Amino acid sequence: MKKGMIVLLVLIMVGSFVFAQGAQETGPTPEKPLKLRYAHMNAANSPNGLQADYFAKRIAEESDGAIQVQVFPSSQLGTITEMAEMVSQGSVALHHNTYGGLSTLLPELGLFDTPYLYRDVDHLLKATNPETSPALKELNEKLIEKRNVRVLYSFYFGTRNLTTNHAVYSPADLKGRKIRAIPSDIYMAAVEGMGAIAVPVDWAEVPVALSTGVADGQENPVSVLVANNLNDVQKYLMLTGHIMGSEPVVMNENVWQSLSEEHKAIFRQVASETRDWASEYVVNGEDKDTQTLADRGMTVIGPEQGLDVDAFRASVKKVVDARFGETWGAYYDMIRAIK
C-alpha cells in the first residue's frame, strides 16, 4: 500500500474517532432538552402524585433544564399494567406502581408487598432500596435483563387498610364479600387471606366498581382514600394495616444507559432526595388523613373498637405461606435479616 494511502486511512480513522467522541459528548442541553414521560395512576394531588412532580422539578433544576420529565397522572396513558409494559417497551421512560402491580413484568417483585412482612417504615425502606437491599439488588438485575426495566428508587406510600360498607371486626365478617384487589397474585392472596372474595379491578375503575356493587370494598392507604374521596362510596374504615407498602419508581433501561455519567449521578441524587421527601410526607400525614376520613363521615374501626388484627394476621399468613412460602422463602429470609 502506498504511503499516501496509509496516511489517508489514518486520517479517516482519527476523524471517525473524533466524530464519535464528539457525538458521545453531545447530549441534551437547555436549548435542546431530553424530554422523558413519567406516567402513573394516582391523582396529581395525592402524595404519590406530588412525589412524581417533586422528582420532575428537581431533575430539571439539577440538570439546568437539560432534562425535562413530563408527568402524566391519573392513568392518562393507560392502566397500571399497560403503563408498566410501556416502560419495558420504551414508550414511557418512568412510572411508579406497587411492587405487586409490577409483578406482570417480573412475578417475584410481588414479594415486596407481602402482608405483615415489615417491622416498621425504616425496615421497609431498607428492604426496598435497590442500592443496598440484597433481595432487591438480585431481582433488579433480573428485571433489567428480562424486561429492560430498572427500579430507580422506592418511597413509602402508606400502610393499606380495608374499607367496606359494613362493619368488619374479624375475617369471619368478610365471608362472601367481594373486595377489590390489585390484579396481582400477592394482593389477591392478601384479600382472600382476610376472608373475602378477591375481585381484580384496575385502579382507574375502582370508584365505579364500588358505587355499582361490583365490589363491596377495597384496601388502600388512607392518603389514597382522601385524595380520591372514597368516603363518598365507603362507610367504614378498618385499620387492618395488612400491607406496609413502598412504591418503586421504575425506568426504561435504554433511557438510563443513554444518560451521561453526570446525568446518572443527578438521577441517583434526586432519587434519594425524593425517596426521603415523599416518605416523610406520607408518614407525617397518615394520622391527619385518618382524622379527615372520620370528619367526612367514615366510621373508623381499630383495635380499640374491637378489630381483631391478630386474627387477620394469622389468616393472611396461612394463605401466603401456602402459596408463596416455598417459592419466596429465601427472599423473605433476606428481608427479615435486614437490621
Structural domain includes residue 232:
yes
43-47, 190-194, 268-272, 273-277: range with lowest mean pLDDT = 43-47
Q: Which pLDDT value is given to residue 234?
A: 97
Torsional sign, CA 94, 75, 206, 107: negative
Structural domain includes residue 48:
yes
Compute the distance between CA of residue 137 and CA of residue 145 in angstroms, rounded to an integer: 13
Q: Which pLDDT value is given to residue 3?
A: 47
Structural domain includes residue 196:
yes
Compute the distance between CA of residue 150 and CA of residue 116 in angstroms, rounded to an integer: 26
For the chain, how many structural domains are there in total? 1
Structural domain includes residue 17:
no
Concatenating the DSSP letter of every residue in 282-339 gives HHHHHHHHHHHHHHTTPEEE-GGGT--HHHHHHHHHHHHHHHHHHHHHHHHHHHHH--
CATH number for the domain harbouring residue 273: 3.40.190.170
Residue pLDDT, tens place only, 143-177 = 999 999 999 999 999 999 999 999 999 999 999 99
Cβ atoms of 163 and 290 closer than 8 Å = no
0.95 cut: is pTM over it?
Answer: no
Compute the distance between CA of residue 264 and CA of residue 324 in angstroms, rounded to an integer: 36
Compute the distance between CA of residue 173 and CA of residue 195 in angstroms, rounded to an integer: 8
Task: Tell me the CA distances in angstroms from 195 to 188, 239, 269, 271, one per residue in order.
Answer: 11, 16, 43, 38
Q: Which pLDDT value is given to residue 183?
A: 87
Compute the distance between CA of residue 99 and CA of residue 143 in angstroms, rounded to an integer: 12
Q: Which pLDDT value is given to residue 325?
A: 94
Average pLDDT over residues 183-194: 95
Q: Domain span at residue 82?
A: 31-337
> In 3-state terms, the chain is what percent helix, strand and coil (to 5)?
55, 20, 25
Residue pLDDT, tens place only, 41-68 = 999 999 999 999 999 999 999 999 999 9
pLDDT over 90 (residue 23): no
Task: Tell me the CA distances in angstroms from 118 to 75, 157, 181, 231, 278, one per residue in order.
Answer: 29, 14, 20, 28, 19
Q: Which pairing describes strands 299-301 and 236-252: parallel, antiparallel, or unpaired?
A: parallel
Angle between helices 261-295 and 47-62 (to 10 degrees): 150
- Band of residue 204 on the pLDDT scale cut at 50, 70, 90: confident
Average pLDDT over residues 102-125: 97
Q: Which residues contact 152 (CB under 8 A, 6 or more apart)?
A: 94, 130, 248, 249, 250, 251, 256, 267, 271
Task: Tell me the CA distances in angstroms from 51 to 24, 45, 270, one per residue in order.
Answer: 32, 10, 11
Structural domain includes residue 278:
yes
Compute the distance between CA of residue 267 and CA of residue 256 in angstroms, rounded to an integer: 9
Structural domain includes residue 13:
no
Percent of the chain with pLDDT over 90: 90
Q: Which pLDDT value is given to residue 201?
A: 93
Backbone angles phi, psi at 331, to 5 degrees: -70, -40
Name the residue among 132, 127, 136 with its Cα closest to residue 109. 136
Cβ atoms of 160 and 238 closer than 8 Å = no
Query: Mean pLDDT over all residues of the chain?
Result: 92
pLDDT over 80 (residue 5): no
Task: Tell me the CA distances in angstroms from 230 to 86, 224, 238, 282, 317, one per residue in order.
Answer: 28, 8, 14, 18, 28
pLDDT over 50 (residue 2): no
Concatenating the DSSP letter of every residue in 209-220 gives HHHHTS-SBEEE
Structural domain includes residue 40:
yes
Structural domain includes residue 8:
no
Residue 158 forms beta bridges with which residues?
A: 245
Name the residue among 104, 136, 120 with its Cα closest to residue 248. 136
Q: Which residues contact 253 (CB under 8 A, 6 or more apart)?
A: 144, 148, 149, 150
pLDDT over 60 (residue 14): no
Residue pLDDT, tens place only, 206-231 = 999 999 999 999 999 999 999 899 99
Residue pLDDT, tens place only, 305-327 = 999 999 999 999 999 999 999 99
Q: What is the DSSP letter of 110?
A: G
